[in-house]
Amino acid sequence: SSAAMASFLTLLGAVLCSLMVSSQVVPQADFDLQIAGKWYHIGLATNAERYVSRRGKINMGTYVITPLPNGDLDLLYSSVYNGTCRKMDKVANKTDVPGKYRSISRRTGHLSVLSIVDVKYDEYALTHAVNTKENDTYIVNKLYGRDADLSAEVQEKFRQFSLQTGVLPENVMFFPKSDGCPSLSLVLPEVSSC
């Protein structure tokens, strides 16, 4: 029917538009390694079903970012899941562009190209990742804070950025505050994507 066609064209437009915006997203120009250290994972924005289906069940985790001597970044993620601490460690390879990194998920095999789009090193960081595997492409935006709380302005900035990259309003998520993991625990293999 023409209504179905119209809604298909609208959807196609939204997809093309989000891909176009995505290719225009660039890392912050003066990016540097002050990004190192501990960050709280405040927000997540994506239309990817693997995250959307867990809406309301994802806890606020933390990341510890450690620059490696070769310019790559080590990312150690910790969160509490069902009363148990989970940790996942991965390395994001540097690229020729400062603030842009590449990694491959051991769990899903997706190539992730991550850009650190907007950062104020003592306050917040906003990242944009384009994940691809064969025909499957999805965007994941994340918001990090040095504190477990971020201002309403920064949250709104993240929301607006996410809408511009094609994420649906209901898929912009902010996590409930959590104490996170105690520091003494085992490092488990990657069990969920980070």
**Which spans of this chain sit near ligand NAG (rule: CB under 6 A)?**
82-83, 93, 102-104, 134-135
How far is 50 from 81, CA to CA, in rounded Å?
A: 16
Which residue's CB is nearer to ligand NAG, number 94 or number 146? 94
To the nearest whole angstrom, how small is the minimum distance from the Cβ of residue 134 to ligand NAG? Answer: 4
Which residue's CB is nearer to ligand NAG, number 25 or number 92? 92
How far is 26 from 74, CA to CA, in rounded Å?
A: 21
To the nearest whole angstrom, how small is the minimum distance from the Cβ of residue 90 to ligand NAG? Answer: 10
To the nearest whole angstrom, how small is the minimum distance from the Cβ of residue 33 to ligand NAG? Answer: 18
Strands (E), 82-179: 84-94, 100-104, 111-120, 124-133, 136-145, 172-174
How far is 76 from 116, CA to CA, in rounded Å?
A: 17
Which residue's CB is nearer to ligand NAG, number 23 or number 82? 82
Which residue's CB is nearer to ligand NAG, number 6 or number 191? 191
To the nearest whole angstrom, how small is the minimum distance from the Cβ of residue 150 to ligand NAG? Answer: 29
Which residue's CB is nearer to ligand NAG, number 80 or number 163? 80
The half-sphere exposure of 174 on its side-chain side, counting CA atoms within 13 A, is 14
Which residue's CB is nearer to ligand NAG, number 86 or number 159? 86
In contact, 101 and 94? CB cutoff 8 Å: yes
Q: What share of the chain is helix, strand, coil (3-state, %, to 5)?
A: 25, 40, 40
Secondary structure of residue 13 in the 3-state scheme: helix
To the nearest whole angstrom, how small is the minimum distance from the Cβ of residue 83 to ligand NAG? Answer: 6
CA distances from 8 to 1, 2, 14, 15 (A): 11, 10, 10, 10
To the nearest whole angstrom, how small is the minimum distance from the Cβ of residue 13 to ligand NAG? Answer: 20
